A and B are shown apart, each in its own frame.
Chain A
Amino acid sequence: MCEPSLNHHHKNNQWSTAIMPLARSLSVTSLSGLEDWDEEFDLEGAVLFEIAWEVANKVGGIYTVIQTKARLTSEEWGENFFLVGPYMENNVRTQVELIEPINPALRRTIDKMNSSGCKVYFGRWLIEGSPYVVLIDVAFTAWSLDRWKTELWESFSIGVPWFDREANDAVLFGFLTAWLLGEFAAQCEEPPHILAHFHEWLAGLGLMLCRQRRLPVATIFTTHATLLGRYLCAGNVDFYNNLSNFNMDKEAGDRQIYHRYCLERAAAHCAHVFTTVSQITAIEAEHLLKRKPDVVTPNGLNVKKFSAMHEFQNLHAHSKSRIQEFIRGHFYGHLDFNLDKSIFLFIAGRYEFSNKGADLFLEALARVNYLLRVNHCDVTIIVFFIMPARTNNFNVETLKGQAVRKQLWDTAQTVKEKFGKKLYESLLVGQLPDVSNMLDKEDFTMMKRAIFATQRQCQPPICTHNMLEDSSDPILNCLRRIGLFNGSSDRVKVIFHPEFLSSTSPLLPMDYEEFVRGCHLGVFPSYYEPWGYTPAECTVMGIPSISTNLSGFGCFMEEHIADPSAYGIYIVDRRYRSVDESCNQLTSFLFQFCQQSRRQRIIQRNRTERLSDLLDWRYLGRYYVSARHMALAKTFPDTYYYQPQDPTSKQGFRYPRPASVPPSPALSRHSSPHHSEAEDDDDERYDEDLEAEKDRLNIRQPFSLPYRNKNALPYASPASNGNSTPSSATSPPSSITSPPSSVSSEKN
């Protein structure tokens, strides 16, 4: 249950406005800085095309990135921002409003292409920010495939196998997008400043062709992961320690993805500016694609602001009670543990057993189970694995559990009705009821029968579904090996739900967001996770999470927060430690988390939620802004200016260091708050302002645009001023200077 009393701390209604307490207390989220800076960098009528296969076409995670980022980019670029994607009839019907292009040059471009045997559509994508979209029907131009493959071969010496459908689509999409950009450049009356941002290898060929045809286009290439990284990580190799030893050509060729790899690496090689989504992917790209990213562009979210303060705590309480109901049914006949002392953990995502760290998690759970038992803890951990696998629908036993629970509830309601009626009648005649007569024999029979129905011989099931590959399933096999069978002595219980959650499920009718809000902790000990939206989503919902320093999210948080675990951001070191050490660390995080009091968890959730602004596109969008300006300045040096390079720094991209090391007491205080259960009512001990003050010391000012004029820093605090961006102090307003040394690794 949450602590409603915490809600009354701030009488002023700041949480309801755009300015969050975090913003007030920290320079980090002084959002006004963004606007100021935009005025400073005159876009000079530049036009931005953002090109991805997942524009208005959900395949995987890149869709989320593009869809959520669109609002901010639309605000910045207005009428000059166009997303370019493939035309898919179903998607267009449901999420795109087709209209006539307003921009005259683009209208001429599309008309010209449509009269030359293409099908190009224009419209508004009905998402936040309603950006313009240009959608190209690649199948319509499939008859050109052979000609274009010949051109691909002649221009780049890369061939694409006929059986790789995705790659053939990439060829068509690449030639069509390059055609679009080239035609647009030709249709513009004045020499245009075109900026084209390509995402992922599927769009990469368009970039290569822009460079090969020497179009007046500034190009950015962003990889959200590398093709080889996922393969190699899943392949049981010590990936991160051998990064420099792989023969990339061989690894890609042996896996039959050499042509894809060539397209990806060539796009990275050709781009004016190359970006990845995290520091860990930056390292991966440096070794696998042989180019260091110029900018790291982390993925953000659009954070929903609630009008009521701590509303997320109420939502947690509400969702948690629904999960508890499910647990009551699932464990019927074996409810020998205290549900109020149960901690709900979950892991969710694509079913990649070792890449997602399910292996490490299970091992740690076995160890926590042991620790809780030997320490006689009364806490029970209930773990949900939400990973879709091939199933044959729900299994009968789990459905029966919910039916049995429902029957008990109905029985109790019936008895309650009768009881209430007798009580009422007794009071009406002015008598205190005779308790022994309130329930008759019939009622007891009914209740006994209901209780008998809850008996069960078998253990509560682990898997909610009938698995098609039960005997070879890695999670189930691991559970068999470590012996976690939901026995009554086990303090760790496991529920494997091998299907995405849905609010229409007859078993657990909750959507993913509701479910996450009801859990206590998300556990994502991934080995390969270029960004990691799952822990980020937890954070903005105020749910603590465990991630790793091999995930983009973990790297990012580690870099920005001095004591992440105090904020409910536990980061397992999987990079520099052995598997066993990592597992011990994960075990201790879990054990530590179990030992927190309810009150400590509430405070921790408050802290977690306060980090949301750090993950908001309003803040993270700046990295994209920075990449775009860099690309424009490189391609059109006469119009856009930047200072060549800063010879002093050695790395491609560096965050400023914090002004001072956070005071050590903060560490211990946060990790083990002094409050105990006994002090629960003592509200005065938890002071929001004091907390925010601590945040100021613990959270780094993460990003100061390196080429920004010093005087233009609207939020420059004395603390951060000392070591941020001294090199650009003298550059004139409306100019752009280079981020430190990012150009030193430049190839183009």
Chain B
Amino acid sequence: MPVTDQAFVTLATNDAYSQGALVVGKCLRRHGTSRQTVVMVTSHVSQGARAALARVFHQVKEVEVLDSSDWARLIMMGRPELGVTLTKLHCWALTEYSKCVFLDADVLVLCNVDELFDRQEFSAAPDPGWPDCFNSGVFVFRPSLQTHNQLLQWARERGSFDGGDQGLLNSFFSGWATEDISKHLPFIYNLSTSAVYTYLPAFQQYGPEAKIVHFLGAIKPWHCKYDRQKEEVYLGDGSTFHRHLYPFMKQWWTEYWQPVAPSFTQTYTWEDPEAQHQKAGSVEVTHKQDSFPHTGKASTPAAPKEMGTHRADTSPGDEAELAAHLRPEVDDLDHKRRWEEGRADYLGKDAFDNIRKKLDTFLE
């Protein structure tokens, strides 16, 4: 049975991070989580991005931007955008759930991680830079307005030693490092990509067991270029990835372009996966014989069989309809993103003549 009082929570503070959140949601769903999925968005996230997120998440919840006023320290770190990550604290106000797992928008979920809900508040994995601190990219928590208020008060009174949410949470949950080992999540639940550089042999030894990869640092997967034909990822400035990171970047992009599966329905069950599996197979065949030959194709080889089971619960036209809705939004996001990667289509639709036409609309 789907568990309705537990949820995975992520956060998008702008359209760029919405792309990351979208992938988090898609991965969770593709790996068949039985929990609810929630994305918190701030006012900076456009309607288009919200619509795209709404297709993937059970709940899209707008939260108010909470800026850390510690500007000096944020700017010192050269990461002024971190200020908004304090909005993360709002997840404690999601009291309709009894327990949640928070995932940063820049993680890639590689398999079903529902077992995280067996842990208690406050469970997290160590930070690679200072292992006595936890990394706040993945953590288990229990929503509570009381805790929420305490955190806000803490923030107001003591600020955060790194200017972001991680410093704040670490000083608030200061017993994490020593008190209860069961609250230490294994590193494979929050495998920082920087580990490739800091401890390569360990990465080679344990990396294949990774369950969640966390793209720390300034370069996020959505900053890279992706060639869908060749299925290759590269950086805008011509530099290259560490060869051990490349597969993750590529997988992120594969997930990004996965067609969005339709919503869960209440009738959907995970009690008998075998039966579902067989049922799915037969339905998929029926679809192919229907007037929607492309729907079968849309389920790319990378997509596991569960994808088909979703389809079983929707009417045949749903996916096409969804795709039609989603496409222009994704297209516009993608179009803007191409500019932001320095890949404007200057010989085609982005030619200055087209920009001039737009300018002329307000120049009388």
Give the distance in Å from the alpha carbon of A143 to the alpha carbon of B83 in the complex. 8
- Is residue A211 within 8 Å, beta carbon to beta carbon, of the partner chain? yes
Asked whether B16 lies within 8 Å of A253 as measured between CB atoms, the reply is no
Give the distance in Å from the alpha carbon of A249 to the alpha carbon of B346 in the complex. 6
- Is residue A157 within 8 Å, beta carbon to beta carbon, of the partner chain? yes
- Report if A259-B339 is in contact (Cβ < 8 Å); known contacts: A146-B14, A250-B347, A253-B346: yes
A747 contacts across to B, CB distance below 8 A: 363
- Report if A211-B355 is in contact (Cβ < 8 Å); known contacts: A159-B344, A249-B346, A258-B346: no
Which of A29-37, A261-269, A457-465, A673-681 forms part of the interface with chain B?
A261-269
- Is residue B338 within 8 Å, beta carbon to beta carbon, of the partner chain? yes
Asked whether B236 lies within 8 Å of A161 as measured between CB atoms, the reply is yes
A147 contacts across to B, CB distance below 8 A: 14, 44
Minimum C-beta distance from A101 to chain B (A): 23
Q: Which of B139-184 contact A (CB under 8 A)?
A: none
Asked whether A139 lies within 8 Å of B339 as measured between CB atoms, the reply is no
> How many chain B residues touch the partner (CB < 8 A)?
37
Which of A148-156, A279-287, A374-382, A501-509 forms part of the interface with chain B?
A148-156
A 228-263 to B, binary, CB cutoff 8 A, 1 in contact else 0:
000000000000000000001110110010110110
Asked whether A249 lies within 8 Å of B347 as measured between CB atoms, the reply is yes
Asked whether A160 lies within 8 Å of B339 as measured between CB atoms, the reply is yes
- Is residue A270 within 8 Å, beta carbon to beta carbon, of the partner chain? yes
Give the distance in Å from the alpha carbon of A143 to the alpha carbon of B65 in the complex. 11
- Report if A153-B363 is in contact (Cβ < 8 Å); known contacts: A139-B80, A162-B223, A249-B347: no
Q: Which of B316-364 contact A (CB under 8 A)?
A: 336-342, 344, 346-347, 350-352, 354-356, 358-359, 362-364
- Report if A157-B358 is in contact (Cβ < 8 Å); known contacts: A164-B342, A249-B346, A249-B351: yes
B 59-98 to A, binary, CB cutoff 8 A, 1 in contact else 0:
0000000010001000100001101100000000000000
A392 contacts across to B, CB distance below 8 A: none
B363 contacts across to A, CB distance below 8 A: 211, 269-270, 747-748
Minimum C-beta distance from A735 to chain B (A): 24
Q: Which of B1-34 contact A (CB under 8 A)?
A: 13-16
A 66-106 to B, binary, CB cutoff 8 A, 1 in contact else 0:
00000000000000000000000000000000000000000
Asked whether A208 lies within 8 Å of B352 as measured between CB atoms, the reply is no
Give the distance in Å from the alpha carbon of A266 to the alpha carbon of B75 in the complex. 31
- Report if A150-B336 is in contact (Cβ < 8 Å); known contacts: A157-B350, A212-B362, A250-B346: yes
- Is residue B46 within 8 Å, beta carbon to beta carbon, of the partner chain? yes
B364 contacts across to A, CB distance below 8 A: 748
- Is residue B237 within 8 Å, beta carbon to beta carbon, of the partner chain? yes
B342 contacts across to A, CB distance below 8 A: 161, 163-164, 256, 258-259
Give the distance in Å from the alpha carbon of A139 to the alpha carbon of B75 in the complex. 8
Give the distance in Å from the alpha carbon of A88 to the alpha carbon of B16 in the complex. 29
Give the distance in Å from the alpha carbon of A202 to the alpha carbon of B236 in the complex. 22
Asked whether B80 lies within 8 Å of A262 as measured between CB atoms, the reply is no
- With CB as the reference atom, state the residue of chain A lying closest to B341: A161
A211 contacts across to B, CB distance below 8 A: 359, 362-363
A149 contacts across to B, CB distance below 8 A: 336, 340
A163 contacts across to B, CB distance below 8 A: 223, 236-237, 342
From B67, B80, B344, B355, give the contact of A266 (CB < 8 A).
Answer: B355
- With CB as the reference atom, state the residue of chain A lying closest to B357: A157
Give the distance in Å from the alpha carbon of A286 to the alpha carbon of B337 in the complex. 31
Asked whether A143 lies within 8 Å of B80 as measured between CB atoms, the reply is yes
Q: Which of A132-173 contact B (CB under 8 A)?
A: 139-140, 142-143, 145-147, 149-150, 153, 155-164
A 708-747 to B, binary, CB cutoff 8 A, 1 in contact else 0:
0000000000000000000000000000000000000001
From A161, A208, A214, give the contact of B359 (CB < 8 A).
Answer: A208
Minimum C-beta distance from A255 to chain B (A): 11
Give the distance in Å from the alpha carbon of A150 to the alpha carbon of B342 in the complex. 16
- Report if A143-B346 is in contact (Cβ < 8 Å); known contacts: A159-B339, A160-B340, A270-B363: no
Give the distance in Å from the alpha carbon of A253 to the alpha carbon of B364 in the complex. 29
Give the distance in Å from the alpha carbon of A694 to the alpha carbon of B171 in the complex. 83
B67 contacts across to A, CB distance below 8 A: 143
Asked whether A143 lies within 8 Å of B340 as measured between CB atoms, the reply is no
Minimum C-beta distance from B318 to chain A (A): 30
Minimum C-beta distance from B354 to chain A (A): 7
B355 contacts across to A, CB distance below 8 A: 156-158, 262, 266
- Report if A253-B344 is in contact (Cβ < 8 Å); known contacts: A142-B80, A270-B359: yes
Asked whether B338 lies within 8 Å of A157 as measured between CB atoms, the reply is no
- With CB as the reference atom, state the residue of chain A lying closest to B67: A143
Give the distance in Å from the alpha carbon of A159 to the alpha carbon of B349 in the complex. 13
Minimum C-beta distance from B216 to chain A (A): 17
Give the distance in Å from the alpha carbon of A156 to the alpha carbon of B75 in the complex. 29
Give the distance in Å from the alpha carbon of A142 to the alpha carbon of B355 in the complex. 26
* Known contacts A143-B67, A250-B347, A747-B363, then 19 further A-B pairs from the complex at CB < 8 Å, ordered by chain A residue: A142-B80, A150-B46, A153-B339, A156-B355, A157-B354, A160-B339, A160-B340, A161-B340, A162-B341, A212-B362, A248-B352, A249-B351, A249-B352, A258-B344, A259-B339, A265-B352, A266-B355, A270-B359, A270-B363
User: Can you list 11 A-B contacts with CB-CB less than 8 angstroms, sorted by A residue number?
Assistant: A142-B81, A143-B67, A146-B81, A150-B15, A156-B355, A157-B350, A163-B342, A253-B347, A266-B355, A266-B356, A748-B364
User: Taking beta carbons and an 8 Å cutoff, which residues of B are in contact with A?
Assistant: 13-16, 44, 46, 67, 71, 75, 80-81, 83-84, 223, 236-237, 336-342, 344, 346-347, 350-352, 354-356, 358-359, 362-364
Chain A to chain B: the 5 pairs with minimum beta-carbon distance, closest first: A159-B339, A253-B346, A146-B14, A142-B80, A161-B342
